[in-house]
Amino acid sequence: MSPQGPLRLGNRAFRPEDLLVMAIVNRTPDSFFQPGVTWDSSAAMDRVHAVIAEGADIIDIGGVPARPGDDVDVSEEIARVVPFVAAVRRAYPDVVISVDTWRHEVGAEACAAGADLLNDSWGGRDSKLAEVAAGHDAGLVCAHAGRQPPRTRPFRVAYADVMADVLDRTLAQARRAVDAGVDPSRILIDPAHDFGKNTWQSLEVTRRLGDMSATGWPVLVSVSRKDFVGETLGLPAAERLPGTLAAATVCAWLGARVFRVHDVAQTRQVLRMVSAIRGDRVPERTVRGLT
C-alpha cells in the first residue's frame, strides 16, 4: 500500500483525509438525468451558486453527454463550456473548476479561461490532453473506459479481472501524464463506473475500490444516479439517490477522496458522517450521556 499525499487543484491543497464533493453542471440539452436543466446559462449559474452554498469543493462543467446522441464537434463543445468557465471564474475566483472533456482543444481553451482540472472520462483517448494539463499546471483525471470509444455504450464487455484492467489502464495513464509534465500531486484515477462496464462489473469495482486507494493516487468516483445503481435496484434515474448514497458511502470507506455528484447537500452529509466514523472529524455537538 502506498501512502496518500496531498491533492493540489488550482491554488488549493487538500489533505488525504479531506473528502471532496464535485458538483455536476451540465451545459447540455440532453443529459441522462434532468436533461436541459442547466442548458440555459443563467440556470447553470444558479446551479453553481446553489451547490457552492451546499458545500461543493469542485464545479465540474461538461458540454457533451456521455451517452450516444447528436454529434457535438469541438467548436460547439468549446462554445458550450469555455464562456461559462470564464463566468464561474469571475464569480468565484478561488473555487476549483473542472471541465469534463476528452479533447485537447477543449481542454486548452478551458484552462486558458480558468479551469483547474481536466476530467477525462474516456480513458485517455486523446494523448495531447495530458500535455495541455501540463502546460497549464492543471490537474488530470485518468479514468477507465476499457476499449470503449467516447459516447458509445458497452456491449458484452468481458474482463478476466475487471479491477486488474482498471488498475492497468488508469496507472498507465497516470504514468504517461507524469512523463508529459503533469504534477503528480494534481493527478487522480477513476474506475469510471458504467463506462466500458456492465452492472456486475461496476458493482465489483465498487467493492474492490480499496485496491485503487492502495496505489497512493487519489481516487475519484462518479456513481451518481448511474445505470448500475438503477439496474441493481430496478429504479429510474429520478429514484436512484438512496442507492447512489449507499455506493458513495462504500467508496468513501474504501478510500475514495473525490465524489462527482448531482446531489451535493446529501452527499456532503454522507461524507461528513463517514469522516466522523473514521475519526477524521468531530461531531457538531455531543451532549447525549454527558449532561
Give catalytic residues, as residue numbers: 226, 260
Count of other CB atoms within 10 angstroms of residue 127: 12
Say what the alpha-carbon torsion angle 172, 178, 179, 182 is, to the nearest 10 degrees: 130
Identify whether the C-beta of residue 91 lies closer than 8 Å to the C-beta of residue 56.
no
Q: What is the DSSP string of 66-124?
A: SSS-S---HHHHHHHHHHHHHHHHHH-TTSEEEEE-S-HHHHHHHHHHT--EEEETTSS
Tell me the C-alpha to C-alpha distance, in Å, between residue 107 and each of 39, 74, 103: 20, 10, 6
In the three-class reduction of DSSP (H, G, I as helix; E, B as strand; rest coil), residue 21 is classed as strand
Q: Which three cell numbers stand for residue 179?
A: 512523463
Mention every residue, 6+ apart, whose C-beta is less than 8 A from residue 58: 9, 20, 21, 22, 23, 95, 96, 97, 98, 117, 258
d(CA 241, CA 247): 10
In three-state form (DSSP H/G/I as H, E/B as E, the rest C), the secondary structure along 156-190 is CCCCCCHHHHHHHHHHHHHHHHHHHCCCHHHEEEE
